[in-house]
């Protein structure tokens, strides 16, 4: 699992964009029909920059290295970013409250204390046993390392990596982790809530080229004007 300089730069961008820009801030309030500054797409008031899209595409590039850049961006939007947007839009106040809880738990773990008020799961397996965002972090982490707080659809999480069994293909790498998470959407219907909120949202784009990346079924789902 020794990475090239190109992959290392991708990991740095992923950590910077997904752990800080995409995951750490609240929704961006903008006037109707305007996109947040720097954004190329927006789901209601939640803007997405080209950097955010490419950082999420890096997750899927590890699973399908032969895929085209266009296809990877499509996977990033439909499998990662649009669900994240739906989770943020569905309950923004609960999301911020859950962030405070997970931040406190994260700080406690780093200080050698027992995290409180969160769910804890022991996970072992390949990428299919984990969410893609946590898996991508763990792919190049070191045993004993703790992740930053990561946003998943409807849930905040962080993880401690215990062990890694290398493989030729990233998708076959086996990992053992403890995952700490705090949901702000009801876990029993979180994806349904996200889907319902996205069906009421409107997707807008900076130009036709970015909109063309979005599959037609998703353009229809997101009520493209």
80-93 tens-digit pLDDT: 999 999 999 999 99
In the chain, the percentage of residues whose pLDDT exceeds 70 is 85
**Closest listed residue to residue 53, CA positions, set 156, 206, 217, 196:** 206
**Closest listed residue to residue 132, CA positions, set 91, 200, 84:** 84
Angle, vertex CA 23, rays to CA 37 and CA 183, nearest 5 = 140
Mean pLDDT of all residues in the chain?
Answer: 89
Residue 38 has pLDDT above 60, yes or no: yes
- Check: CB of residue 183 under 8 Å from CB of residue 155: yes
Q: What whole-number distance in Å separates Cα of residue 69 and Cα of residue 65?
A: 10
- At residue 34, the pLDDT reads 79
- At residue 190, the pLDDT reads 87
- At residue 86, the pLDDT reads 98
- Check: CB of residue 45 under 8 Å from CB of residue 37: no
Angle, vertex CA 145, rays to CA 134 and CA 182, nearest 5 = 45
DSSP 131: -
């Amino acid at each position: 699992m020794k990475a090239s300089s190109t992959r290392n730069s991708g990991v740095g961008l992923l950590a910077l964009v997904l752990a800080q820009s995409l995951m750490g801030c609240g929704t961006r309030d903008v006037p109707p029909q305007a996109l947040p500054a720097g954004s190329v797409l927006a789901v209601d008031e939640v803007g997405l920059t080209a950097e955010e899209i490419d950082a999420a595409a890096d997750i899927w590039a590890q699973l399908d290295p032969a895929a085209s850049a266009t296809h990877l961006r499509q996977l990033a939007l439909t499998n990662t970013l649009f669900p994240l947007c739906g989770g943020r839009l569905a309950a923004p106040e609960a999301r911020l409250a859950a962030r405070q809880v997970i931040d406190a738990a994260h700080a406690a773990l780093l200080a050698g204390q027992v995290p409180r008020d969160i769910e804890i799961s022991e996970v072992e397996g390949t990428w299919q046993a984990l969410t893609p965002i946590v898996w991508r972090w763990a792919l190049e982490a070191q045993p004993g390392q703790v992740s930053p707080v990561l946003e998943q659809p409807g849930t905040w999480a962080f993880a401690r990596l215990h062990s890694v069994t290398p493989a030729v293909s990233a998708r076959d790498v086996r990992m053992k982790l403890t995952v700490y998470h705090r949901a702000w959407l009801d876990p029993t219907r979180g994806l349904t809530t996200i889907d319902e909120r996205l069906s009421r949202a409107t997707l807008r784009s900076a130009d036709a080229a970015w909109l063309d990346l979005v599959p037609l079924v998703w353009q229809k789902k997101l009520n493209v004007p």
